[in-house]
Homo-oligomer: A and B are copies of this chain.
Amino acid sequence: MAEEGRLKSLDALREKMGLPEKGPRADGRHNDEIRPVSIETGFHRPHQVLISCGDTKVICSASLENRVPQWRYGSGLGWLTAEYSMLPGATDKRTQRERGTIVSGRTQEIQRLIGRSLRNVVKLAGIGQCTIHIDCDVISADGGTRTASITGGFLALYSLIKASEKRFAMWPIIEPICAVSVGIVGGVPLLDLDYKEDSNAQVDGYAVMFNNGRFVDFGLSAEESMYTKEQFDKLVELAQKGIDEVFKVVVGQIEMIDSNYS
């Protein structure tokens, strides 16, 4: 009943805002529609961002450390690394904390993606012998936590760089980045899957992109299934549409951070 009430109020909101008729997905979205994205920078600490993509909420933090990993000594280059974690209470069934033990393959794969993506937007020669740490902690998980982490992580990074600008010989950020998820559920290509959709997906993927259709990372995996070239192309198209929507929110946040420092 709680679920029913939530959906009703989404309908009312839709009508009030003069939105087009609701789509066929369980929460009333159209197949090519993302969930509402909202971002709060300076959440409780200076470079801490709370990003919400529907009911998915991630706290992203950026920190600067005055050293680089040992294998990077003397290179003149900085480094950027990311960690991803779920708060145990972020899911309906409690998720076990990954500590005192090996970190799961899923977690490692996600944090490697976040780090690799964000290294594409920073000139590592421009930050000196420093390491930037991006920490993404999911406090509520409803699908799309990895892509929300990349988008939120970028803004935490931007806030940190802006605040530390004077330390760097040049402005080290190349351009903004954001990410969305795509997938195929019941044979239908969808944009920005929530947890229930994700659990039933035959194909599951993500795109990390710069503005204007340039790619940074892209992946598309079948789960006990396969996909044709036509479906592949459709998912790429959906991803590009979703990226455009998310960029609008990201750009608004960048302006806000800039105005705080001018």
A26-67 contacts to B (CB < 8 Å): 43-45, 47-48, 55, 57, 59, 61-63, 65
Alpha-carbon gap, A176 to B232, bound state (A): 20
Chain A residues with a Cβ closer than 8 Å to the other chain, count:
62
How many copies make up the complex? 6
Q: A65-B94, A101-B100, A109-B112 given as contacts; is B47 within 8 A of A119 (CB)?
A: no
| Interface positions of A (Cβ within 8 A of B) | 43-45, 47-48, 55, 57, 59, 61-63, 65, 83, 85, 87-90, 93-94, 97-103, 105-106, 108-109, 111-112, 116, 119-120, 124, 133, 135, 137, 139-140, 210, 213-229, 232, 236
A to B CB contacts below 8 Å, 30 in the list: A44-B57, A48-B89, A59-B89, A61-B87, A62-B89, A63-B93, A65-B94, A83-B97, A85-B97, A87-B135, A87-B137, A89-B135, A94-B135, A97-B99, A97-B135, A105-B108, A105-B109, A109-B112, A119-B223, A120-B224, A210-B226, A214-B229, A215-B226, A216-B222, A216-B226, A217-B220, A218-B220, A218-B232, A219-B219, A232-B236
Chain B positions within 8 Å of A140 at CB level: 44-45, 48
Q: B222–A217 contact, CB under 8 A? A: yes
Q: Which residues of B contact A102 (CB under 8 A)?
A: 100, 102-103
Interface pair B100/A225, CB less than 8 Å apart: no
- Majority secondary structure of chain A interface residues (helix, strand, loop or mixed): mixed
Q: State A133–B96 Cα separation when bound (angstroms).
A: 10
- Bound-state CA distance A70–B97 (Å) is 19
Contacts of A137 in B (CB 8 A): 87, 137
Contacts of A47 in B (CB 8 A): 89
Q: Which residue of B lies closest to A52 (CB)?
A: B44
Known contacts A105-B108, A226-B120; is A45 also within 8 Å of B89 by CB?
yes
CB-defined contacts of A99 to chain B, threshold 8 Å: 85, 97-101, 103
With A and B bound together, what is the CA distance between A248 and B228 in angstroms?
21
CB-CB under 8 A for A120 and B89, given A65-B94, A102-B102: no
Task: Determine whether the beta carbon of A139 is less than 8 Å from that of B59.
Answer: yes
Residues on the B chain within 8 Å of A225, using CB: 120
